[in-house]
Structure 1
């Protein structure tokens, strides 16, 4: 068995799941350059990388041995043609200070029609799902809702609802730009007061993506 064969099968799995090298590498905790080296056989992926990929449905047994697994990792079915996998995270569980979202445990993987995501202007490789926790966004997002987040949109233009990292804690807030370059973080639940982020405090705030599509219970 040669490394290049492992690389070819790794690329085959990435293509099957409809992910770019950048997005696939992020799941495994590596950059696009390293992912490219894995696929061309220039470098060998380690166990932690492979373990991370297993959580989104990559058939690790096939990658390593060339033999298809009879049951995919954690019961995740391979993506059918025309469907794109979206990793879904619990915002409460995924609260590690300074950790990238892809290093957190995936609660589940849902599959969405690729063409419908594209019709909404979304690149499947840039979309993750987040479970909403708390009532601060009541009226827009309820506790237990899922929301699809576009990680390619990390600027508060146009203004909207964003997934943020604030002082090491992930939050979903409406972001409004105000005079002087400050941001106002707004909870749609009127019982919560807006939070002003001054320009000198911007280092403690990072936009992780824009909330685009809500998936929730009909009330």
Structure 2
């Protein structure tokens, strides 16, 4: 099957009637016997689910909004190919004769930067807010404060340059503020936690790092081992640790940066 989503992706959709945490999504999926498959990559094994159709809202006017999205493509044939559906099904979706598959809606929306909330409910802006730069200059250039924008959002947090220099011992310009990606550190870090990542520190060493594994961001604990080996592990028992040979290139493995601070809502 192709319309499969991880628990993290389902949570990010914020669909009515569904839980707002990955753990609760997994529990609901097990309780309601959702179809799932297990995918294995460098980060370990994870489940991806077929989201039941009853959780996809079907308000009136959705077909009209989808037609606006389709009009952004060269023609309907191209839009159908991007959506992953036949031209006949695309026509029925637009006329609201058929329910739109969730994956088809996502496939159409993401390349154009269209808000899923707008497609589903008609509320808010049609286009997602473009991500801002990771670091924004303070309004007063002589200020000791530096403002970071949470990647992909309008949320900002300000930190003292002096504190960054003295406590984190890094340059503010090398830091990026992001929400914890993935769930492999569940128990130590949660997806609601916010972290500062030093993107200048990409050498394999002991500590917590943001990694790109097979193109997917995740947080892992790295540990140098004798014999030029690197152990990659998490706190979530659903993911098995693995080792890498640092003397050999490892396709699909990239160190994005080291975690130097985290904040949590309690």
Q: TM-score, normalised by structure 1?
A: 0.52
The structure having more radius of gyration, on CA atoms, is 2
Which deviations, in whole Å up to 9, do the C-alpha atoms of 1:102-122 show, x marking residues without a partner?
A: xxx455332211111111212
Query: For the structure 1 residues 192 and 123, does the alpha-carbon distance in structure 2 shift closer, same or farther, using more than 3 Å as the test?
Result: same
Correspondent of 1:87 among 144, 149, 154: 149
Correspondent of 1:202 among 241, 250, 256: 250
Query: For the structure 1 residues 125 and 182, does the alpha-carbon distance in structure 2 shift closer, same or farther, using more than 3 Å as the test?
Result: same
- Report how many aligned residue pairs link the two structures: 134
The answer to whether the 8 Å contact 1:163/1:207 transfers is yes
Name 1:20's counterpart in structure 2: none
Name 1:78's counterpart in structure 2: 139
Correspondent of 1:174 among 206, 217, 221: 221
How far is the alpha carbon of 1:168 from its aligned partner? 1.4
Q: Unpaired runs of 5+ in structure 1?
A: 1-50, 59-76, 90-104
Which deviations, in whole Å up to 9, do the C-alpha atoms of 1:13-71 show, x marking residues without a partner?
A: xxxxxxxxxxxxxxxxxxxxxxxxxxxxxxxxxxxxxx87788657xxxxxxxxxxxxx
Say whether 1:124 aligns with 2:185.
no
Name 1:216's counterpart in structure 2: 264
Aligned-partner Cα distance in 1 for 2:191–2:131: 27
Aligned-partner Cα distance in 2 for 1:111–1:163: 22
Which deviations, in whole Å up to 9, do the C-alpha atoms of 1:73-127 show, x marking residues without a partner?
A: xxxx8367111122322xxxxxxxxxxxxxxx45533221111111121211011
Name 1:110's counterpart in structure 2: 157
Aligned-partner Cα distance in 1 for 2:136–2:173: 15
